[in-house]
Amino acid sequence: MLVSVKEMLLKAAKEKYAVGHFNINNLEWTKAILLTAQENKSPVILGVSEGATKYMGGYKTVVGMVKGLMEDLDIQIPVAIHLDHGSYEGAINAMEAGYSSVMFDGSHYDIEENIEKTKKIIKMASEKGISVEAEVGSIGGEEDGVIGVGEVADPSQCKAISDLGVSILAAGIGNIHGKYPKNWKGLDFDVLAKINEVTDDVPLVLHGGTGIPEEMIKKAISLGVAKINVNTECQLAFAEATRGYIEAGKDLKGKGYDPRKLLAPGFEAIKKTVKEKMELFGSINKG
């Protein structure tokens, strides 16, 4: 069933596990993630960036594809379609198309404008039963053209945003999108603990879940993180498996060039990666 993330993350925060947010890029990715979630009885969040939305045809196309797959595959676990790093206009378009959750990324505005725009998005979303994620302190690295330098959020600003009534809060604590460099300093757990304390138990989000050591993931969950975003790791697994198929010459044998065969190894690689993350996050059998 298609739901907002609010209830699933309140439950996760209370029971000290996290729900995986896995970005989708096409039908294969969506099908692989939904099947893995159903097989492991885990709630799941399908993250869609504005770039991926455009790539797949548009907001209504994404919603239609997800709803169709859920019905045809008999998906019974809680599923959310979540706009990832949405602009103000993108969040409005996603809500109108049927996304069940949106992230308004106002982190590049000054705090006053971020608050004002977030308030407007929350008002529109609440009328539709849609959950809202807001961000304070830009997340490092680059994701689909959205670039952040990896700031550590100010807990007082996090409180100001959470007090607006957001469903979930993404706070920069040294995490970055993409691969982590060798000189990465790690997550700032002191700041995370302060943010969790002042935001009245609003579920927190950890972006850039690829490459963070397992012990850091588990500690972050213990300090209020209930949603962890994974994208790069699935992309790398998909690319490696697809490359292996082609380098082995399998696409040249028989009808190995058929896209259903060509993409099958990548499909299975995504399923394997997603299951490993669900095990790490503790969300299996929580659906």
Amino acid at 83: L
Average pLDDT in the 179-201 region? Answer: 84
Residue 135 has what pLDDT? 84
Average pLDDT in the 228-236 region? Answer: 94
Residue 93 lies in a domain: yes
Residue 287 lies in a domain: no
Instruction: Supply the CATH number for residue 74's domain.
Output: 3.20.20.70
Residue closest to 167 by CA, chosen among 210, 143, 209, 135: 135
Average pLDDT in the 160-165 region? Answer: 92
Q: Any idea of the CA torsion for 104, 108, 109, 115, to the nearest 10 degrees? A: 40
Q: What is the 3-state secondary structure (H, E, C) of 2-65?
A: ECCHHHHHHHHHHHCCCEEEEECCCHHHHHHHHHHHHHCCCCEEEEEEHHHHHHCCCHHHHHHH
Examine the pLDDT at 3 and tell me if it is beyond 80.
yes
- Residue 187's φ and ψ, nearest 5 degrees, are -80, 145
The residue ranking higher by pLDDT, 164 or 139, is 164
Residue 218 has what pLDDT? 95
Give how many domains the chain has, as a whole number. Answer: 1
Residue 276 has what pLDDT? 97
Average pLDDT in the 5-15 region? Answer: 94
Examine the pLDDT at 287 and tell me if it is beyond 70.
yes
Residue 69 has what pLDDT? 98
Among the options 72, 84, 105, 154, which is catalytic? 84
- How many percent of the chain have pLDDT more than 70? 94
Residue 286 lies in a domain: no
- Residue 276's φ and ψ, nearest 5 degrees, are -60, -40
d(CA 53, CA 90): 10
Residue 189 lies in a domain: yes
96-120 tens-digit pLDDT: 999 999 999 887 888 889 889 999 9
Mean pLDDT computed over every residue of the chain: 91
Least confident of 26-40, 75-89, 127-141: 127-141
End-to-end Cα distance, the chain: 11
Tell me which residue range forms the domain holding 78.
Answer: 5-281
DSSP codes joined into one string, 130-173: -EEEEEESPPBEEETTEEE--PBPPHHHHHHHHTTT-SEEEE-B
Residue 181 lies in a domain: yes
Residue 73 lies in a domain: yes
The residue ranking higher by pLDDT, 17 or 180, is 17
User: Among this protein's residues, is 84 annotated catalytic?
Assistant: yes
